[in-house]
Amino acid sequence: MTVLVTGAAGFVGNNVVQKLVANGQTVRAVVRSIEKAKLRLSKYGDKVEIVQADVRQRDDWERLMKGVSAVVHTVAISMEKGDATYDAVNYQGTINVVDAAEKAGVQRFIFIGQNGSDPNIQYKLLASKGKAQAYVASSGLKWTALRPSAIFGAQDEFFNTFARLVRVTPLIFPLVGGGKAEFQPVSVLDVAEAVVRSLNDDSTIGKALDLGGPEPLTLGEIEKRVLEAMGTSRLMVSAPVWLLRPAVVVMQSILPGSPVTTSLLDLLAVPNTVKDNALITHFNMTPIPFSGEHIAYLKEATAGQALNKFFTNATLN
């Protein structure tokens, strides 16, 4: 079985590729950045076929589906930049991949959605992911939607952003929005495992499964664990969203790798916890906690990396 993975050089995508290869699958890794693919996928040699394409280019996808029996669609953006909008990438990009898969007769389709997404929600990111999931569900494919909370792992952008900010704020650290926003951090290793299990589990067909870690955490608790993992401390100062917004507007307008946008700030108002955690209730897994050795990677952040990321949007690992 050849499994096509979209966004295969991305954070979730390359972890899915690793898990598929370990399970003996033939993988067609579709990437937008060949440089990122060389960094993250070249170690697999001829076990992985690397192909460059963009989900926004509809005509590319029919040829890519030849010989494919399953698709894992991971492509999504959390920040809009230029013509890379939520609707263009997250929604229309999904339509392009789904339509090509249906036309090619692909049977199995795993969609990486997002916890809390809804076509009718007021937040553009969550709405785009909700519309994309609805389109997948309306297709004739044997689909499964996996909807993780905030995903952590060595290449993540969310939790690593806090670590990088720690390195460039030596005395105090903002408790964003008072630290009240709620998350249920889930390991990328668990997400990748759920993908592989879903491919071989027909009972997941036609289901949307929420994925989370073993415990809900407030943003304040998350920030404290980041500091603990880094072996450092800061004076935590409450920073209301309204106070941060002007600075974020400036950052997102001048920094190619801005650590946050106003859209992401707005999402702090939406609880990102999981009521029915399919890792436990469906897959019978013990979720990896956001603590201890599992987040030791955060200590590797440096001030140089932070500045490089913020000013050039470089891929750091």
Instruction: List, for residues 202-213, the tens digit of each pLDDT value.
Output: 999 999 999 999
Predicted confidence at residue 262, as pLDDT, reads 87
* pLDDT exceeds 80 at position 177: yes
Predicted confidence at residue 22, as pLDDT, reads 96
Can you name the residues that pair with 176 across neighbouring β-strands?
239
Express each pLDDT in 115-151 by its tens digit: 999 999 999 999 999 999 999 999 999 999 999 999 9
The rounded distance, in Å, linking the Cα atoms of 98 and 106 is 9
Strand duo 182-183 + 217-218: pairing? antiparallel
Instruction: Report residue 247's pLDDT band, with 50, 70 and 90 as the boundaries.
Output: confident
Average pLDDT over all residues of the chain: 95
Predicted confidence at residue 309, as pLDDT, reads 86
Mean pLDDT calculated for residue range 210-237:
97
Tokens linked to 231: 């072996």
Predicted confidence at residue 243, as pLDDT, reads 87
Predicted confidence at residue 25, as pLDDT, reads 94
Predicted confidence at residue 146, as pLDDT, reads 98
